[in-house]
Amino acid sequence: MDILGLITIVLVASILQAGTGFGFSIMATPFLLLLFESHDAIQLNIILSLLISFIMSIKIHNEVNQEVLVRLIKGSLIGIAPGFLLFIFLNVRPLKIIVSILILASTGLLAAKINLKQTNSRELIIGALSGLLTTSIGMPGPPLLIYFAGANVDKKTLRSTSLAYFVFVYLISLLLQFSMYGISKSVWISTLWALPFALLGIILGQWVFVRLNQQLFQKIIYVLLFVTGMYLLVTTF
């Protein structure tokens, strides 16, 4: 195990996650796949993302939009099971291609200042899409990023509500992984090595967050979406 590589990946990705509410899986997964077998890399990503989201949610729980959170969770319950079935029984390559194209197209529309109106039904749909992507390819964030950015949600509400939602959806995904496949000893050992640096990343990410204005925050979201879309597209070929 490349401990230095693991530490570097986790530190940078956790700073991004704590500073924006997104980004750990986007940043960490491609590099973790270089260090670990794919199944272990995905499980390590889920465990660390869950821990970071849980810790951050405790700190900023009073900023969460509870009504939006409930609708996202309800929606995710629709998407979680189909996503897991895709992961187990079907080739996820076509799904990754479709998702990557949709993310890139949506990012272009957002950059062109196309706005979305927040509605209850849309939040249920976004939750369902996010739940499906969590259990199929391990990335719950892109639908939320697109929706919240398009609706011009302020950065505090975006970060806190997303993190609270991730606690739920990552926990369900981890339980499904554990029940169906188990979790190897090497994943738990890697988690223990990475955890102190994830905690350090949370502290540094908080420092970054208070220095981001809304405009810069939006630009970071566009970059994250673009990188995610390109990553999914490139890794399918």
The two tokens of residue 136 are 């199929």
pLDDT at 237 over 80: no
CA of residue 20 relative to chain centroid, distance? 11
Per-residue pLDDT tens over the stretch 127-177: 999 999 888 877 888 889 889 888 888 888 888 999 999 999 999 988 987
pLDDT classification of 36: cutoffs 50, 70, 90: confident
Average pLDDT, the chain: 85
Segment 38-65 shows an average pLDDT of 87
* pTM of the model as a whole: 0.83
Helix residue ranges, H only, 90-140: 93-111, 120-137
Per-residue pLDDT tens over the stretch 123-135: 999 999 999 988 8
What count of Cα atoms within 13 Å lies in the side-chain half-sphere of residue 206? 12
Look at the block and give the residue holding tokens 């629709």: 78
Domain positions in the chain: 3-234
pLDDT at 90 over 80: no
Three-state DSSP state, 91 = coil
pLDDT classification of 196: cutoffs 50, 70, 90: very high
